[in-house]
Amino acid sequence: MTAGARSDRRSDGEWADRYRNRWTWDKVTFGSHSVDCYPGGCSWRVFSKDGKVIREEQSAISTPVEAGIPDMNPMGCQKGACWSHCHYSPDRVTKPLKRVGERGEGKFEEVSWDEALSAIGEAMIDAIEDQGAESIISLLTPEFGAIPARIFSDILGTPSTDGNAEFQDFSPGWHVTWGLFNPTATMDDWFLADLTLIWHANPVYTNIHWYHYLAEARYNGGEVVTIAPDYSPSATHADYHQPIRIGTDAALALAMCKVIIDAGIYKKQFVQEQTDLPLLVRKDNDRFLRGNEVMEGDREDQFFWWDTLAGTLAPAPRHTLATTGVDPALEGSFQATLKDGSTVEVEPVFARLRRHLEQYTPERAGEICEIHPDNIRKLARKVATRKTKIFIGWNSGKYYHGDLMERAMALLLGLTGNWGKKGTGTRSWAVMGMDGNVFMSRKEGPGQEAAQKHIAGLIAMRRLVASTDPTMTLEMIQNRVAEQAVELGGMGNTMPPAFLWYHQCGYKERWDDPENNDPSMKRSFSEYLKEATDKGWWDESYAKAYETVEPRVLFEAGGNILRRQRGGQKMLLKHLWPKLKMIVSVDYRLSTTGLFSDYVLPAAQHYEKLGNSMPSIHHLNWVLCDRAVEPLDQSLPDWEIGVRLLEKIEAAARKRGMKDYVDRKGVTRSLENLADRATQGGVLRDEEKRMDEYLRDNAVYGVLPKGSNLETLREKGQVRFTNWGMVGHGISQASTIRPDEVHNPLRWHTEDKVPYDTLVRRAQYYIDHEWFLEAEEALPTHKEPPNHGGANRRFMMTSGHNRWSIHSMNLTNNIIQNTHRGEPFVFLNDKDAAELGIENGEQVKMVSNAGEMLISAKLTPSCRPGQVIVYNGFEPYMHENWYSQADIEPGHIKHLGLVGNYGQLKYRPLSWQPIPADRAVRVDVEKVG
Amino acid sequence: MGNTTESKRQLAWVFDLNKCTGCQTCSVACRVLWNDGEQGADHQWWMTVNTKPGAGTPKDWEKMGGGYDAQGNPQLGHLPSPEEFGGGWDYNYDEVLRGGGGRSVHLKKTAGSQSWGMNWDEDEGGGEFPNAYFFYLPRLCNHCSEPSCVEACPSGALFKREEDGLVLRDETQCGGSQDCARACPYKKVYFNEARKVSQHCIGCFPRLEQGVAPACVRQCPGRAAFVGFLDDEASYVHKLVKKWEVALPLHPEMGTKPNVYYVPPLSPAPLREDGSYDEGGNRIPPSYLEDLFGNRVHGAMDVLRTELDAKRRGRDSELMDLLILYRWEDCLGHLSRDPAEIVWE
């Protein structure tokens, strides 16, 4: 042992060597966690000794990107710091398990891989014969490391539920406004904001490895304001905390918009150029004035403004946002002559907006939001005059009217010119650079020449798509290709699960319950759904298939649907489970879903296999998870599980003489050579070869620096992306990656005047779809959350991600359990609790019209009176009776999510679709016994 | 004060409470490194982060006594029990996951404290809605310059290391009297029932000896922790404690001259009855901060506010730039070696 300068002999003894020896190792590897941790991307050093992982420590290898901005070190949180503990913890599963008792009883016997996979392969072929391939449902759980286990869905073309509805991390308001929901800056860009509004987010819990940029932005002279119902943990480091009545955020944003417009301090040129606010709307029918109404043969999606310089109606250019030579009117009322010679009154959206905002005076909004009107005025002026960023998570999108909240926030940013430049904008999730992985089985052979050919083919296809319209932008081409992939059954056949839930999981009754619905709906949910499917808005998305197809196989890899499902496990266990002949859980641990599965397949842990951490745009790094030790016992890397399963599916089909099947999209799909197709004829079967190919191909695709391969990544641990690639949300950043700059999205729009991929090709605040007009939601507006959960209940449950776990996966880690209460709990305001006679730590019952659960009460004055917060993730089996938070959430869907025939409101994977709501659920809290 | 050896140099820690998010990465890093899987260490968390106001761990430690009396003699206060430290929980994993009982059994604690945990009152805090307040207070052994534990130890096992001022225990000499735990006013000494020795934070001395910073500092993702020699003018610790005097010891009145320092917490403007902001008001009562950090806290807060204001007015501030920590390794002082470089023979 090479000791440093030790002068005091008293620390030379055997007692001290005991400690010194504990901190030794024989191997160091780079590692991370290829899990659904977003933004993730932490690079760790994994220290092992005698073939066992002993601990991990953040590698802290990030180099500064832009001068004058703090570096990203040392990325990694407490979950990561004890991940090694999960490798050897009692909930680890290391042998294939077959259920021998009733589902959920937890009685299993250990079986061989061969037996387990054969049974699953047979069940899949049974399902294809019985109900068709659409009866094999994979759940799109975004744990990156687990995705290869379900490669069969990609190779066979069986459907995967779209994760954006499964886990609801969608920002519908961003999508409505920009045609994309995931413009996302890198985290170091937060440092540059002069004003940060932490709104619908709690980064102190959820961005532990990144939070420092907010604290540092403040030390750099920026101001931080939190807006939340409760005094959230993230408020502790804010300059101002603005408490707000639950679910009223749109009213606050709109009142700020009113203040800004009334004071004339909006950014006029930004508004004219970047937004639809100058576009003309007909007063007779509230619809945009359209080209085919003005001139025979003109486009339906040509829109107009009034040029005040020329004093004429003029088409708003579709190919650029530049307003060179024109001054589009924002106010006034004008006459437009239609092609039949008649005239109609038209006015800019801005003029309508100004009238619409009359109802949002700071005084009125102050009453709605329970905020002092002066606070609204002051904050509005700050937003209008400073580089402002809305730090938001995926909380707003989980509100029933979260679309309206986000549209109102986007309006606030648009009026103040706060996007498309450093230190501004908002936030969502975005991943990128998976091209090498996704294209691996699609290119014509192994090797980088095949990759070059593949990319050439893709570029040619994109040119073809673009040839239909010379004004198409890169974003538009990318999105059209994704939409076509849905139609053709590509992209692993991703489907919006709402229709499956409605027809096969018992949700019809619940969604038709008027108590859960918005009072502005003129018809039942079912009638809206029928109209949407009858009109073919979701034809490519299995909207009708599940009217008849009964699911037979459910395949969950790396996820825990019985914890996650909005609407609760009861819906699934009652309605879906009895139809299923085979339920599979691939996991390294026994989750609640595992306990209700027919087979549990043991996956290797994250230091036992090759992978990469969430390739998030928040950090822009490709981060290696290396194999530090061999998989424990019989556990296998997910990739190996996936390929072995393909072999068994292939064998089962061969036994029955089945060579192929035709799916409901009419595509003939081969059941032969499945494993070979996934592995390029076996060449890429080996995990190391596959990873090396992924990296080398990524270099070919321009995503990673030239020369990248497994060896270079093992030296460096991580490497910064060089370009967006085609797979993921790179191009929808609409900005260029610069090697020495932080990334801020939408700069192609603000700097290069490239149009947006919305119906009107501008940031769109006015949605003239008939359903939106009927709901009086053409413009962003405020609506109260519906009575989902039940009218006349005392509390609203808000919730959010917890501090201690990524979903449920760390909540059974004994180290982590000891850092909180070690049992599920609900935060309750101390005075509310006193009125109900509830003590701190007492078990209580939480009740809604969807169900009930038992949980321990935790009292705090930080919780808003009338609010309850259950930070989510607790395993159902941590609760008495196993009912958890999701079981009191009705899982209701806003009917406007069913719109599918309007510009950007069209399905493509991980994007616009019907999404359940689980925030502001109305509940009661009762003493037990 | 008696038999404490003078150390040649003193290592010190600084925690910036305006950056600490209470994430427990320091606690977990410490536990995995030194205690996880060790017999008799179930309740031992040498590093902890608690919500203040709050009872922390051990529960109500600030009321347990210790330190020195008026004559400068070590005072033996209350000996905290494992129940008061809290936690040490194990669970019925096998019963739930492999017992075949289904819903009739759920995951429950099978060992450890019945009433408390090391972070039991997390995020509860004080005040009244909407002016509730709280902040996070990370704590480890203070490696005091006048450690009452050392003075109280009847067997001479505890000593203050010459080269860095760490308070360490020769465990072969420890007789298990636990007088150190009684005498420690911060209640950061634990007893290992299996080995019959007291244990506390060892300052990561094996790491220090290799030029590597303690795990609690090096693994802090909030970039809220700093380590270095107090007399090293280049160290951020020196700059924050000595030059800018914005980092203060916890409970200086306890008299042990602790070497863990804290940049005290700012807090959002409180709301008046009508919901408007009381711009000049204090959400965290200054008297509460004084209880924790002594009366120098007011001056430190003034300096912080003045420098923050300077930045907001576009002026330079050395202090704010230190706290921003543009280059992370600057928080590690002279201990900036990457442990992955080490090859053990």
Q: Does A97 touch chain B (CB under 8 A)?
A: no
Mean pLDDT of A894-910: 95
Task: Judge whether residue A2 has pLDDT over 70.
Answer: no
* Residue B247 counted as domain residue: yes
DSSP 3-state of A105: coil
- CATH class of residue range A795-927: mainly beta
Percent of chain B with pLDDT over 90: 96
Q: What is the pLDDT of residue A67?
A: 96
pLDDT bin (cut points 50, 70, 90) of residue A484 is confident
pLDDT band at residue A344 under the 50/70/90 scheme? very high
Residue pair A909/A485 in contact by the 8 Å Cβ criterion: yes
What angle, rounded to 10 degrees, do the helices at A448-467 and A474-488 form? Answer: 100
| Mean pLDDT taken over chain B | 96
* Å between A562 CA and nearest CA of chain B: 14
Task: Tell me which chain B residue has its CA closest to the CA of residue A815.
Answer: B28
- Residues A15, B170: C-beta atoms closer than 8 Å: yes
The answer to whether A422 touches A67, Cβ cutoff 8 Å, is no
Tens digits of residue pLDDT in A62-112: 999 999 999 999 999 999 999 999 999 999 999 999 999 999 999 999 999
pLDDT in tens, A125-158: 999 999 999 999 999 888 889 999 999 999 998 9
Host H or E run for residue A80: helix A78-81
Taking only residues 592 to 631 of chain A, the set having a beta carbon closer than 8 angstroms to any beta carbon of chain B reads 595
In A230-333, DSSP assigns E strands to: 240-243, 280-282, 304-307, 312-315
- In angstroms, the separation between the Cα of residue B252 and the nearest Cα of chain A is 25
Judge if A172-264+366-415 and A795-927 fold alike in CATH terms.
Answer: no
B345 domain residue, yes or no: no
B143 touches chain A (CB under 8 A): no
Q: What one-character-per-residue DSSP string does A515-579 give?
A: GGS-TT-SS-HHHHHHHHHHTTTTGGGTTTHHHHPPP-EEEEES--HHHH-TT-HHHIIIIIGGG
Quick check: A858 and B93 CB within 8 A?
no
* pLDDT-derived band at A491, boundaries 50, 70, 90: low
Which string of DSSP letters, residue by residue, matches B175-190?
----HHHHH-TT---E
Considering only CB atoms, A101 lies closest to which of B100, B112, B209, namely B100
Q: Phi/psi at B260 (nearest 5 deg)?
A: -110, 125
Number of alpha carbons in the 13 Å side-chain half-sphere of residue A49: 11
Q: What was the pLDDT predicted at B71?
A: 87
Q: Which two tokens stand for residue A710?
A: 């497994």
Q: Look up the pTM and report it.
A: 0.97
Q: Are A684 and A693 in contact (CB under 8 A)?
A: yes
At A1, the pLDDT band (50, 70, 90 cuts) reads: very low
DSSP one-letter code for A655: H
Q: In whole angstroms, what is the distance from residue A308 CA to residue A305 CA? A: 9
Q: Which residues of B4-29 are buried (b: 16+ CB within 10 A; e: fewer)?
A: beebeebbbbbbbbbbbbbbbbbbbb
CB neighbour class for A7 (10 Å; exposed up to 12, middle 13-18, buried from 19) = exposed
Preceding omega of A39 cis (within 30 degrees of 0): yes
- pLDDT, tens digit, 9 for 90 and up, residues A519-534: 989 999 999 999 999 9
Q: Top-level CATH class of A172-264+366-415?
A: alpha beta
CA A408, CA A415: separation in Å to the nearest integer? 11
Exposure on the CB side of residue B283, measured as CA atoms within 13 A: 29
Whole-Å CA distances, A345 to A283, A291, A767: 6, 15, 19
One DSSP character per residue, A382-416 reads: HHHHS-EEEE--SSGGGSTTHHHHHHHHHHHHHHT
Looking at the DSSP assignment, which residues form a beta bridge with residue B15? B225, B262
Assigned CATH for A97-168+434-733: 3.40.50.740
Per the structure block, which two tokens stand in for A375?
Answer: 């606070």
The pLDDT mean for chain A works out to 96
Q: How many domains does chain B have?
A: 1
Q: What angle do CA B162, B165, B169 make, to 5 degrees?
A: 85
Q: Do B311 and A877 touch (CB under 8 A)?
A: no
Give the one of A226, A370, A822 whose C-beta lies nearest to B109's C-beta: A822
Q: Which helix (H) or strand (E) segment is A83 a member of?
A: helix A83-87
Q: Which residue of A has its CA nearest to B29?
A: A81
| Tokens standing for residue A782 | 């405020």
Q: Which residues of B touch A45 (CB under 8 A)?
A: 339-340
Residue A67 sits at the chain B interface (C-beta within 8 Å): no
pLDDT greater than 50 at residue A820: yes
- Side chain identity at A67, as an amino acid letter? A
Within a domain: B4 = no
B300-304: long-range pairs with CB below 8 Å, 24+: B300/B245, B300/B246, B300/B247, B300/B248, B300/B263, B300/B264, B301/B264, B301/B266, B303/B244, B303/B245, B303/B246, B304/B18, B304/B246, B304/B263, B304/B264, B304/B266
Parse chain A into domains and list their residue ranges.
15-87, 97-168+434-733, 172-264+366-415, 795-927
Which H/E stretch holds residue B324?
A: helix B318-324
Going by pLDDT thresholds of 50, 70 and 90, the confidence category of residue A483 is: confident
Give me the residue label for tokens 């296998």: A636
* Model pLDDT for residues A311-341, shown as the tens digit of each residue: 999 999 999 999 999 999 999 999 999 999 9
Which residue of A1, A18, A22, A23 is the best one to mutate when testing the B interface, meaning the one whose CB has the most B CBs within 10 A?
Answer: A23
Residue of A25, A90, A803 with shortest CB distance to B93: A90
Q: A929 CB near a chain B CB, below 8 Å?
A: no
What are A753-803's pLDDT values in tens digits?
999 999 999 999 999 999 999 999 999 999 999 999 999 999 999 989 999
Answer for the pair A719, A462: CB distance below 8 angstroms, yes or no. Answer: no
Residue range of the domain that includes B219: 11-87+116-340
Return d(Cα A267, Cα A197) in angstroms, integer.
Answer: 19
Picking from B119, B130, B159, the nearest residue to A819 by CB comes out as B119
Q: Residue A345 — φ and ψ, nearest 5°?
A: -80, 130
Residues of A in contact with B345 (CB under 8 A): 1-2
Burial (0-12, 13-18, 19+ Cβ within 10 Å), A683: middle
Confidence of residue A490 (pLDDT cuts 50, 70, 90): low
Q: What is the pLDDT of residue B5?
A: 57
Nearest alpha carbon to residue A712 among A724, A694, A726: A694
* Residues A117, A123: Cα–Cα separation, whole Å: 10
pLDDT digits (tens, 9 = 90+) for B254-264: 999 999 999 99
**CATH number of the domain encompassing residue B151:** 3.30.70.20
User: CB–CB of B29 and A57 under 8 A?
Assistant: yes
A74 to B328: CB separation less than 8 angstroms, yes or no? yes
Peptide bond into B130 cis (omega under 30): yes
Q: Are B35 and B41 in contact (CB under 8 A)?
A: yes
pLDDT at site B1: 41
Residue B254 lies in a domain: yes
Residues of A in contact with B267 (CB under 8 A): 236
Q: A386-395 pLDDT, tens per residue?
A: 999 999 999 9
Nearest to B312 among A221, A818, A829 (CB): A221
In a domain, B1, yes or no: no
Q: Where are the alpha helices (DSSP H) in A161-290?
A: 163-166, 172-178, 203-206, 212-219, 249-262, 268-274
CB neighbour burial string for A314-333, b if at least 16 within 10 angstroms, e if fewer: ebbbbeebebeebbbbbeee
Banded model confidence at residue A492, pLDDT cuts 50, 70, 90: low
With beta carbons under 8 A apart, name residues in chain A contacting B198.
none
